[in-house]
Amino acid sequence: MSTIAYFLIGFQASASHFIKFAGVMMLFSVVATLLCMGCAAVLRDVATATLVSAMTTLFTMLLGGVLLNANALPPAARWLPYLSVFRNATEALAVNEVDGIVVHDTFNGVEVNLAGITIVDSIFGFRRGSYLRDLLVLVGMNVVLLVGVGALIVFKMREVR
């Protein structure tokens, strides 16, 4: 779905930006799926597993950087957004899209040229050059969750005779 929307939205049309976008979207989808599968493997009741999955998704969405700026958190809690799959995916996508973009505008008769990354940094707290770090964090989350969910399925959901 994101493949179709990418060009319709008007994101950067270069192949490298699109491949980076598609890679982040795939990693994000797998992490979100594994989180929900982990909840389903831990909890026997379907309703409880669904509720916990939804609450986990909402909590990680809150810390994603769009609804709550990491710079607005107290210093002791500033590490929490980095546990959010939404934060890492959103930051990687935003940094990928504003790479090389300069915003030209006029405020009160004064012409302003501002790099896109400066705007994203000041509003959302996303840092320049964080794409690779976010990509590696998403890969790490995938590996940890894949091993964890696999272990849960093998040991907790074993058929009893």
* Helix (DSSP H) and strand (DSSP E) numbers for the chain: 6, 2
pLDDT of residue 46: 92
At 41-50, the pLDDT tens digits run 999 899 999 9
Confidence band (pLDDT; 50, 70, 90) for 160?
A: low
> Domain map of the chain by residue range?
2-156
Confidence band (pLDDT; 50, 70, 90) for 122?
A: confident
Residue 101: how many other CB atoms lie within 10 Å: 13
